A and B are shown apart, each in its own frame.
Chain A
Amino acid sequence: MSPHEPTLPDEWELVVGLEVHVELATRTKLFCGCANEFSTDPNTNVCPVCLGLPGSLPVMNGKAVDYAMKLGRALGCEVHGSVMARKNYFYPDMAKDYQTTQYDKPTSMDGELVLSDGAVVGIERAHIEEDAGKTTHIGGGGRINDAMFSLVDYNRAGVPLVEVVSRPDIRTIDHAKAYVNELRDILLAIEVSDAKMEEGSMRVDANVSVRPVGSEELRTRCELKNINSVRSMGRAIEYEAQRHVDLYNSGEAPRQETRHWDEDGGRSTPGRSKEDADDYRYFQEPDLVPLEPSAADVAAIDASLPVLPAARRARLADLSGVGPDVLSTVVERGQDGLALDAIEAGADADKVLTRLQNDVAVDDWSNLTPPLLAALIRMETSGELTATQAKQVLSDMVESGGDPATIASGRGFEAMESNELEGLVDQLIADNPDEWIRFTSGDDGEQKKMQGFFTGQIMKATNGQADGRAIAQLLAAKGS
């Protein structure tokens, strides 16, 4: 978690639910054989079905259903029989002027997402639906009301989506961010989406309200759209919550509405009015048959699921004492297998994990095998290598392979004898009497600063070969 948590005034509590649209990485669209690929020239990846031409009929993409069920099970949802429904409303980029989605019988219901710090957010539902085309408004600042004309590209129409709807269980911005990060990690782990917020393959809408601390009520919420990064989501929620608090404090109340997040302006503005759009006249899609997965189908989905990020973090947490941030990073990068094997081979667990987090932030670490990593960590913990040296050796190992002992001797790293180090420390104290007094009699901050000074000088004198912890111990012993 970030140490800086933007907060509301003490007496107010934030209430957030997130609706995340995930594009499924199927080869073809949800209801036709067109490629699920919309970065091509406008309106080239289309057919009678995704253009909603008269007489065309949808055929369900079985792979998309499998992916949706996989996601449902990964979120701990019940996955059962479901039906597609029509959501009726007019919009130019909606080829049929209805969206084929799921309504009262979604594929997945009642799950939960466990965040990296152990907090639990309920999942209300995760349903399958089709994406719409993309409208570009020309002139008038790009907003529909002022545009001179609009262009519609239907390449994205019919792309398979799953909408994951959380319960309003989120109480902090950090948890909202953690939720999105965790969902992304799960999507990547189960390989159903590339989950890139910046590219729109994962789109987050935030339902935001506030309430007095201690209250259990759910007050009027606003739905924030046009959020295109985790950071932007944090800003949007913070702004919106404060707007609600300000309204309540001035004796007013927010209206239930969809609002547009303006990232550049750092504010939300009223979007489409919901007054006349609320009645979608849902009814069962007569052109598709109900989806009826058997118990065996669901069992097969379960069997196909990899170990999920939360369980992978828990496994590492059992073996180590590092914080949740370290666990998240290592698991997110997929380095937990390497870490587990290195720990198994006898390396210190905390050291393995912190080294991976801090020093192996690369895409390709294939040169780093568990025995080699374990050997390096053992050299560090035994004092054969200083922290700084270990870091350099590790970098070489990642870059070009090889065992740590050979690399260390090739670089001329040999741990300094402790009496040699003590001599250097004594010399330094004698050369810098003022600093030494500040170290021994200053307050905590001063002491820390001077420890940094002495350590830096010694590192400089030894070309980084001294062990930072040994220096600290020597300084402490001599100062007491």
Chain B
Amino acid sequence: MSARSIAADVASGARSAASVLDEHLARVREREEEIHAFNLVTEEKARSQADAVDAAVAAGDPVGPLAGVPLALKDNMCTRGIPTTCSSKILEGWRPPYDATVVSRLADAGAVFVGKTNLDEFAMGSSTENSAFGPTRNPLDTGRVPGGSSGGSAAAVAANFAPLAIGSDTGGSIRQPAAFCGIVGMKPTYGAVSRYGLIAFGSSLDQFGPFATDVADAAALYDVIAGHDPLDSTSITDFTPNAVDHLSRGVQGLRVGVVRELSGGAGSVEGLSADVLARTNEAVEALAAAGAIVEEVSVPSATLGLSAYYIVAPAEASSNLARYDGVRYGLRVDAPTTGEMNTATRTAGFGAEVKRRIMLGTYALSAGYYDAFYGKALKVRTMMLRDFASVYENFDVLITPTAPTTAFPFGERSSDPMTMYVNDVCTIPSNLTGHPGISVPFGVGDDGLPVGVQVLAPALADGLTFQVAAVLEAAANAGGAT
């Protein structure tokens, strides 16, 4: 059942929020042990929120657009008084004294928080295998990963533990797990959604965004969480989200570019599997059939994104994660001196991937290496911004696959960071440019697992991504995808 019909039923009194919650918690009890979508199920919190919604409905008071809708929160979102771990031992047991702005907005909208979802530690990963608390399994095939880093949120929606979830996307961490789990996931324009209370990984790249089972629900959730926040200096001012308004606009006359370098064309990145490319082509054909003007387009610098990203994101992370030093909160491993205590705490508290990225980033920013690494990555970023800006002079949106493959089996890539990093090749460019992107399911691969197609648009054209995704979704449901 969609989030919008739940909200409508709850608001009209046709169903109670409490009964909606019970149904979802029943499914959690049934499958959570197997899936491990959550680090924490917040049943008590959810019940009090559901009761409050029901009381408001009974009293005839106005309720929010997400009244009574169960929702899962990625465990890197600060929730007041509720443990927030980033799936890291270093933050185990920490209870933030404040709510993220997005959390407050969702609570005000009447959402019911069912739990905090698992992720790759500090959102560093593409499979949720890097969680300190064990991996999340893909509900569609529990032998496979759900993607990452927001694997817990994607799995929670795919398993119908909640119709909606929030993830964060630094290099594809919403879109890739959405593709792997057969749901919709969207990364907003940088600055469209407040980062206040988002535990930072790569500050210039991170954005919260919605997961839902369909495009319309994702748009409704986006409209609740987006908009200016004075607590985030990088938040866009004078921006009114209107994704839902875009849903039925169609693609007649829209100029759609297929990015050659990310879609198996000339000069394309390697490793894009044939079934994924076939579904992407069918998606493009579906848009043409719906009236869009489709053309192949070249964005040469798009292939440099991966290298630039794996400098910029770890560099920012090396600084952002310095504060986990054992002094103020979270884990502390005692040692004779402060410096030794810092080292012992960080050695015990961080997992291998986090340590790898802290070292990468520290190195990239160090005197003597800055220009060759961080400085150069910033130049690539500027170049990509310029290239995409010039492409968007002639195109309204761009199409690529979301991920190179469908969901892969556990362990297949976790031993080799480089093959894992390649997962993000199609999603990373829009993090570096700050542009919006959405992943929408479009058919299945040779293994029967879902394929996601990605729609990219220029900054602030978030509504347009939902508009095109709605057309793709309709085509896929009508059998346009094989």
Q: Which residues of A contact B (CB under 8 A)?
A: 48, 51-60, 86, 88, 90, 92, 95-98, 144, 150, 152, 278-279, 281-283, 286-289
Contacts and interface: CB of A to CB of B under 8 A. Distances in A.
B338 A51 contact: no
B327 A152 contact: yes
Contact of B96 (A54, A60, A150, A283): A54
Given A279-B366, A287-B234, A57 B319 contact: no
Interface of B: 76-78, 84, 86, 91, 94, 96-98, 100, 195-200, 203-204, 230-234, 315-316, 318-319, 322-323, 325, 327-329, 338-339, 342, 362, 365-367, 370, 374
7 contacts: A53-B98, A55-B100, A57-B232, A60-B233, A98-B319, A281-B319, A289-B233
A53, A95, A278, A288: most-surrounded residue (chain B CB, <10 A): A53
A355 B327 CA distance: 59
Given A53-B96, A86-B319, A58 B233 contact: yes
B323 A88 contact: no
A281 B329 contact: no
A267 B81 CA distance: 51
A54 B316 contact: no
Contact of B325 (A48, A53, A97): A97
B323 A281 contact: no
A164 to B, nearest CB: 25
Contacts of B203: 286-287
B366 A59 contact: no
B199 A55 contact: yes
B233 A283 contact: no
Contact of A57 (B196, B323, B365): B196
Nearest to A150: B338
Q: Report, nearest first, the 4 A-B pairs whose CB atoms are least far apart.
A: A97-B322, A281-B365, A286-B204, A286-B203
A96 B323 contact: yes
Nearest to B196: A57
A366 to B, nearest CB: 44
Q: Give the residue among B233, B342, B366 with the most A Cβ atoms within 10 A.
A: B233
A286 B196 contact: no
Contacts of A97: 322-323, 325
B196 A88 contact: no
Given A48-B97, A48-B98, A150-B338, A54 B362 contact: no
B366 A281 contact: yes
A53 B78 CA distance: 10
Given A55-B100, A95-B323, A281-B365, 13 more contacts: A54-B94, A54-B96, A55-B78, A55-B196, A55-B197, A59-B233, A88-B318, A95-B328, A98-B319, A283-B365, A287-B203, A287-B233, A289-B233
B122 to A, nearest CB: 10
Contacts of A144: 338
Nearest to A32: B231
Given A59-B230, A279-B366, A286-B316, A53 B322 contact: no
A237 B319 CA distance: 36
Contacts of B86: 54
Contacts of B315: 283
Contacts of A98: 319, 322
Contacts of A283: 315-316, 319, 365, 370, 374
Contacts of B325: 90, 92, 97
Contacts of A56: 98, 196-197
B365 A54 contact: no
B97 A53 contact: yes
Q: Which of B84, B198, B328 has the most CB of A within 10 A?
A: B328
A57 B101 CA distance: 11
B374 to A, nearest CB: 7
Contacts of B196: 55-57
A279 B365 CA distance: 9
A285 to B, nearest CB: 8
Contact of B233 (A48, A54, A288): A288
B204 A59 contact: no
B231 A90 contact: no
Nearest to A98: B319
Nearest to B198: A55
Contacts of B84: 54-55
A43 to B, nearest CB: 10
A28 to B, nearest CB: 14
A144 to B, nearest CB: 8
B193 to A, nearest CB: 13
B73 to A, nearest CB: 12
Contacts of B97: 48, 53
A287 B195 CA distance: 9
A88 B233 contact: no
Nearest to B91: A54
A98 B100 CA distance: 22
Contacts of A86: 319
Contacts of B328: 51-52, 95
Nearest to B195: A57
B379 to A, nearest CB: 14
A48 B200 CA distance: 14
A312 to B, nearest CB: 39
Contacts of A279: 366-367
A145 B242 CA distance: 59
Nearest to A97: B322
Contacts of B342: 90
A279 B319 CA distance: 13
Contacts of B96: 48, 53-55
Contacts of B234: 286-289
B21 to A, nearest CB: 27
Nearest to B361: A281
Nearest to B203: A286
A56 B328 CA distance: 15
B329 A59 contact: no
A60 B316 CA distance: 20
A282 B364 CA distance: 11
Contacts of A90: 322, 325, 339, 342
A95 B322 CA distance: 10
Contacts of A92: 325, 327, 338
B47 to A, nearest CB: 26
Contact of A52 (B78, B195, B323): B323
B289 to A, nearest CB: 42
A54 B90 CA distance: 12
Contact of A88 (B98, B200, B322, B327): B322
Contacts of B362: 281
Contacts of A152: 327
Given A48-B98, A92-B327, A287-B203, A57 B231 contact: yes
A62 to B, nearest CB: 11
A92 B366 CA distance: 22
A60 B370 CA distance: 27
A51 B366 CA distance: 26
Contacts of A54: 78, 84, 86, 91, 94, 96, 199-200, 323
A279 B197 CA distance: 30
A278 B366 CA distance: 10
Contact of A59 (B195, B231, B327, B370): B231
Nearest to A31: B233
A53 B329 contact: yes
Contacts of B323: 52, 54, 95-97
Contacts of B367: 278-279, 281
B171 to A, nearest CB: 15
Contacts of B76: 55
A124 to B, nearest CB: 20
Nearest to A282: B365
Nearest to A88: B319
A278 B367 CA distance: 9
A286 B342 CA distance: 25
A42 to B, nearest CB: 14
A314 to B, nearest CB: 42
Contacts of A278: 367
